[in-house]
Amino acid sequence: MDESYNLIVKLAATSIENGEVIAYPTSSIWGLGCSPFDESALQKLCQIKQRPTHKGLILIAGGWQEFASYFPNLTNEQVNRIITPSSHPCTWLVDDQSNKISHLVKGDNEKVAIRIDSHPFVKQLCSVLQHPITSTSANPSGKDPATSATEVVEYFGKDIGYVGSYIAENKCFNDAKYIKSIRSQKPSDIRDLASGEYIRRLELPAKH
């Protein structure tokens, strides 16, 4: 990765550590995120998105290592379910085993929604932070999700961290191919980890 990309990741990490909300690309959508351990940042995220706090948020990371300490009692089989790549993103509902997860992340839910994301920005950012971040689509409630950094800034302006306006001018996140892939994406599947049950399934099994 080039120096400008690494700089953007460092700016994003600094913004999160300073309690700011950032906008960032994932494998499926542009997301809004902050530290899941900063109550003020979580409140701000819900406020600027106009999202009711009872709905909760997803936790996203680039690998299991950022999640492991918060879910210490999962079996190897359960961890393998979460980390096994799939052709469509999958969000898993997992019991809160550490009691370190904010009620603003869980909302009115007993379980925590988590996802491992394949986008290199997410992987590098969470590796720098050494913990997951929150994820919710980058749009005010009731609006269409943003499909580019420019649209994110048009929605939120100065309400997001400095990195938000910086990436709007950076080609690696406004590339036409990436924007097209974002626009064609659908929301992730949702599965309960304990039972394996699909709560939402958008990817149908292949016919044989």
Looking at residue 164, its pLDDT comes to 54
Instruction: For residue 63, give its domain range.
Output: 3-194
Residue 102 is assigned to a structural domain of this protein = yes
Residue 207 is assigned to a structural domain of this protein = no
pLDDT for 11-68, tens place per residue?
899 999 999 999 988 887 789 999 999 999 999 999 999 999 999 999 999 999 999 9
Residue 201 is assigned to a structural domain of this protein = no
Residue 160 is assigned to a structural domain of this protein = yes
Looking at residue 122, its pLDDT comes to 93
Looking at residue 207, its pLDDT comes to 45
User: Can you give the three-state secondary structure of the chain, one letter per residue?
Assistant: CCHHHHHHHHHHHHHHHCCCCEEEECCCCEEEECCCCCHHHHHHHHHHHCCCHHHCCEEEECCHHHCHHHCCCCCHHHHHHHHCCCCCCEEEEEECCCCCCCHHHHCCCCEEEEEECCCHHHHHHHHHHCCCEEEEECCCCCCCCCCCHHHHHHHHHHHCCHHHHHHCCCHHHHCHHHHHHHHHCCCCEEEECCCCCEEECCCCCCCC
Q: Give backbone dihedrals phi and psi of 102, rounded to 5 degrees, phi first.
A: -60, 150
CB 113 within 8 A of CB 135: no
Residue 204 is assigned to a structural domain of this protein = no
Looking at residue 166, its pLDDT comes to 55
Residue 61 is assigned to a structural domain of this protein = yes
d(CA 137, CA 142) in angstroms, rounded, equals: 11
Would you give the distance in Å from CA 36 to the centre of its chain?
Answer: 11
Residue 202 is assigned to a structural domain of this protein = no
Mean pLDDT, contiguous 10-residue spans, the chain (208 residues): 77 94 85 96 96 96 96 94 86 90 94 93 95 94 86 86 58 47 61 86 56
Domain count, the chain: 1
Q: What is the pTM of this model?
A: 0.84
Looking at residue 184, its pLDDT comes to 46
The CATH number linked to 65 is 3.90.870.10
Looking at residue 101, its pLDDT comes to 93
Q: Could you tell me the two tokens for 143?
A: 């609006």
Residue 161 is assigned to a structural domain of this protein = yes
